[in-house]
Amino acid sequence: MVIRRARLTDLAPLAALERAAFVYPWGGLDLLVGFLPGGRVLVAERGGQVAGYALCRGRSLVRLTVFPAYRRQGVARALVQAVLRPGLQVQVRASNPAARALYAGLGVAEVGTCRYRDGEAGIRLRWG
């Protein structure tokens, strides 16, 4: 697996990943926020194919997802480890046990709760 900075040519596969992974997917324009100053998008590749990505803005991990075919193979963990730094914040849906287990295994601390736009409960997390 290779972790690298995303390129603008990755926008189409990232948008396809969004559609495969989320009920409310981001489009290409939404993803551009990671390419603006203060943003960072990392891509995980396996065999030359995009397997997943992480998008950070400032001190927040805003988006993390992996194509279903690559899940439970360490892709998300590798992406999080690549962006992990003290003070990094993320929020996770309370109903997402896989993400909660991933973050707990990386030493994250719960710092509060939140609500998503659709009303679902979320948990705010922060590293060191």
Domains in the chain, ordered, with CATH? 1-83 (3.40.630.30), 86-128 (no CATH)
Q: Tell me the average pLDDT of the chain.
A: 92
| Closest of 58, 44, 53 to residue 26, by C-alpha | 53
Question: pLDDT value at position 93?
Answer: 93
Tell me the mean pLDDT in the region 37-53. 94
Q: Which helix (H) or strand (E) holds 105?
A: helix 97-105
Answer positive or negative: Cα dihedral of 69, 124, 100, 94: negative
| Closest of 44, 68, 69, 45 to residue 55, by C-alpha | 44
Q: Is the pLDDT of residue 77 over 90?
A: yes
pTM to 2 decimals?
0.90
